[in-house]
Structures are given as C-alpha cells and as structure tokens.
Chain A
Amino acid sequence: MGIRISLAALCGSLIAIAPPLQAETPAELDALARATATPTAGIALARRQVAAGDMLDALATLERVILNNPQSNEARLLHAAVMCRLDDRQGAMVELDQVRGRQIADAAWAEANEACSDGRER
C-alpha cells in the first residue's frame, strides 16, 4: 500500500515536473552542441528533429553544422529543405541556387525535392 501511494506520488510528481517549456540545462545544451561536432552527426540529429516536427530546432542544428563546416553541401541542402518545411519557399530557392551543381547525394536532393515541391501538409 505504502509503495502504491509513493509510486502514485512519484507519477504525479513526474507529470507535474514535465514542464510545458521543456526546460534545458546548460549541460543539455552542451550535448546539443557536441552533437554537431561532425557534419554526419549533426545532419543525423537534424533529421531526427525534422522527423519529430521540430523544424526550428533542426534549422538551428544545421546552421551549427554549416558554421563549423561551411563546405558541407548536404547540410546546406537540408537547410534549404527545412526552410521549405517552414514555408519560406522563396528563401529556400535562394539556398538551393547556392548549392546547385555541387556534389550532393541524390537522396539528399530527393529529400529537398519532397520538402519543397509540396508545401502542404505531408
């Protein structure tokens, strides 16, 4: 009984502390920064954020990748794709123009195409 009550209190507390703002700690922000140490890792994180619907987080992740690795064409292409998903399609076109003709995997182009060719809900 005691355990049940305590567990209920624990669950209640967990619900209570699930902050609507999803507070971060500096250590959690450190982890985000570390996750973009390499373009591969950063792009993977951005894809997970896109899949979760967190487009602004994905955009920021890709911008960290680009700042640290300005030659990462794939990050720039995916950045443009996320801009499309945020409905800034004209801005995305400018970015796509900037990576046109560069060596980027077809899969990444297809991803950008999917994001930008239909701005409506997926």
Chain B
Amino acid sequence: MGNSRFLNARAGIVALLLTGLAAGGISHHVSAAAPAVVGIAAAIVNDVRIKSTAARQFAKAAVRQRVALADQVQTGGASKLQLLLLDRSKFTVGANARLTIDRFVYNPNGSAMSATVAKGALRFMSGRAGGGADRSITSPSATIGVRGTLLDVVVGGEAVAIARGEREVRDVDQHDPATATLVVLRGPGPRRQGNDAPGEVDVAAGGETVTLDNPLEAAYVPYAGARPIPFTISSPGVARLNDMLLQPREILYDPDAPGQPTMPQPERDRPYYDYPPPGGFGGDGPRPSGGGYGPGNIPGLNVLPTAPNRPERPTRPGRETQPMPNPGQTSTPPSDNRPTGTINTPEPTPTPTPTSTPQPSPTPTYSPQPQQTPVPSRTQSPNDDVIVR
C-alpha cells in the first residue's frame, strides 16, 4: 500500500513535469544579453571562425561549438563547415563564405528560420517542419523562400563564374562579383523516395519572383536590383557546385582573369567539364566515350541517364510579374540592433536585419545601372504562394 502510494505520487510528479514541458515546449527564452543557441558546428575543416554579437572579433571555431542567433560564421580559404540547427536544418558551407542565422523560431505550430549569406557557397537541407515552416535565405541581391527542400546557393564571384559557363545565362552582360547570386534546387523531386516533401524555392529579386520546383532548376541574379533569370543548370555547373561544397580544395575565382576563372588542379584526373571552353560550357555537351560509373559487373549502371531526368518544363501560362521589394536595396544593418530571436514563441519574431553588407568591388563587368535582364515566362503570379515577402 505504502509502495503504491509512493509510485502514485512519483508518477504524478513525472506527469506534472512532462505536462509542464509539453505546455512550454523547448523553453529557451532569449534575452538580449544571451542570444539563443540555435545549433552547433557539426563539422569543421581548416579555418572557420565565429563572431558573436557581443564579441569584437572573430574567434576560431571548434567542432560541436554552439552557434547562437545572429552569430556571424565565416570560413577561410580551403575551409568547410557544416551547421546543424535545432530543427534539424543543415547548412554545408564552402570556403570563403560568410553566413548568419538571423531568425529562428521553433515551436509545435511551425518553425521559422532566416539566414543571410553575404558571400560563398552553401547547401541548405531543411529539417523537420510540422505545422508548416517559414524559411528564407537572403543574399545581397536576392531573397530565397524555401519550402522543404535541398538547395545550393552561391554568392559572389563563383556565382558569376558558373553563370558564365551556362548557355542560358552566359550572355548576360552585367555581373557584380560582390552581389551576384545563383540558386539551384537540388531536390527532393517528384520521384523522390523517403519522407521528405518535394522541394520548392522562390527566388525574389528586382521586383520579380521565380519559382523553382524541380531538381536542377536554377535562378541567377547577376547583380543587386536585377531580376532572377531561370535556367536549368548543366552537369558541369553541378560539378563546380559539388567541388565548392565537398572537395577538399576550393575553386578560386579570379576577377582579373575575365571570362576564365582560375581553378587549381585537383588531385583527381580532370573530367571534361572542369574547364569551360571559351564562351562557356554550352550545356551538358558530349560526354567522354566509354563512360560508366562503376565496375562493369554492375548491370544497369552504365545506362543511367546523362541528361536532365525530366521532360522540358512547359511554360506556365498566366504567370505574371509580382512586384516585390528588392532585398539588395534594404540590407544595411546596424549591427547592434540585431534581433535576439525567440525559440518556441508562437508570436512572430522581429524580421532580422542582415549582419553584413558586402561592398561591391569594382570590376570591369559591373554597372551600377540596373538593366532589365531577359526573364522567361516562368515568373510568379500574385495568386501563387509566396513565403518571402
């Protein structure tokens, strides 16, 4: 009897505690003095530095170091990073990149995250978003609304270098290596396996929004104020993205070598796509003869498709331009006025201000006069869903 009373009381206390936890969820309430931890640095290669809001200088980061809201994260040359956020969102960040998590709201009714990438390449993999999620990534020239997806973003000279190799955008005559932004949707596509929902991305820039909803659909914004140009990235372009994110040595962009990026020779044999020919890659192009992807005793591997694995996307009728504010014109932030953010707070958190404003570097290819770039009809109508406004 005494035992059962004890058990009864103990179970009741546990239930009470759990109920309290359920009501409060993860109660990291954030004060201005102590910005909330939003994730960790799960992998670090070479020189990665983090600057908290309270710090004056960047400090070298360590594996499993906590990353807080509004921390500025920076990778050096030949350096890489992976960030894991509390909602299981992931960022794999390439060399010479700068990233800030500006906003992070996480509660059972939904989650919200916004980040700013000032330069460099990153891959975003969304986490688990029950009840809907509002995620966005801001670059100096574009705002990228993310719905459950895997996407690559490149900001800066490497974006220009990749775009110059793509047949559909290589004729763009103005690029700003400081603000140019390339966005590539990598998945999940309609034929995906597993639990992840199909990915979709809205790229808003220059008053227009382009929606990407199939793997390898891409949008290029050549400078702040320009409209996004949709295209399908080629295999060589994908190879360069992979190199920037996952190869041990980064590809360097040399603005003094117009038309041809400077790329160090990697250890492996160079495949045909590493150097764009004069005038660009020109799409997928012919593949080398004798192609195959594995040992000859694996049947079927050599018959894998070498072209985009989906039919040409038809133009969507009736899609019109949707006026939107240009994020490139509104990204000047006072660093001491950054949001501290709240986790598990249903109310919307203040819209973050980007933490860094890259200064456009003078280059022969950049003109401050925005020119209207040709935009195919794959734009967004006011009736379409838009995450980022």
Of B63, B129, B187, the most chain A CB neighbours within 10 A belong to B187
Chain A binding surface SS class: helix
* Range, interface on chain A: 35 or more
A93-109: contact bitstring with B at CB < 8 Å (1 yes, 0 no)? 11111101000101001
Nearest-neighbor residue (CB-CB) of A122 within chain B: B193
Bound CA–CA A108/B211 (angstroms): 36
| Further contacts, 20 of them, CB under 8 A, given A23-B25, A94-B239 | A6-B8, A21-B108, A21-B111, A21-B127, A23-B106, A26-B66, A57-B90, A67-B82, A85-B192, A86-B194, A89-B304, A93-B305, A96-B301, A97-B239, A100-B294, A113-B301, A116-B304, A117-B301, A117-B304, A119-B309
Known: A90-B305, A109-B295. A22 touches B88 (CB 8 A): yes
**Given the known A-B contacts A59-B150, A100-B294, are A113 and B87 also in contact in the complex, defined by CB atoms under 8 Å?**
no
Determine if A119 and B191 form an interchain contact, defined as CB atoms under 8 angstroms apart: yes
22 of the cross-chain contacts (CB-CB < 8 Å) are: A2-B5, A10-B18, A12-B15, A13-B15, A23-B25, A32-B42, A33-B63, A33-B64, A36-B42, A36-B43, A53-B194, A56-B90, A56-B127, A56-B150, A63-B90, A67-B45, A79-B246, A83-B187, A89-B309, A90-B235, A109-B298, A113-B294
Are A106 and B193 touching (Cβ within 8 A)? no
Q: Are B22 and A55 in contact (CB under 8 A)?
A: no
B2 at the interface (CB under 8 A from A): no
**What distance in Å separates the Cβ of A42 from its nearest Cβ neighbour in chain B?**
10
Which chain B residues lie closer than 8 Å to A64 at the CB level? 42-43, 82
A39 to B122, CA, bound (A): 22
Residue of B nearest to A28 (CB): B86
- Determine the residue in chain A with the shortest Cβ distance to B148: A56
State which residues 286-320 of B face A: CB under 8 Å.
Answer: 291-295, 297-301, 303-309
The answer to whether B295 and A91 have CB atoms under 8 Å apart is no
A91 CA / B127 CA spacing, docked (Å) = 21
* B191–A16 touching, CB < 8 Å: no
Instruction: Decide: B92 and A20 in contact? CB cutoff 8 A.
Output: no
Cα–Cα distance between A23 and B129 once the two chains are bound (Å): 10
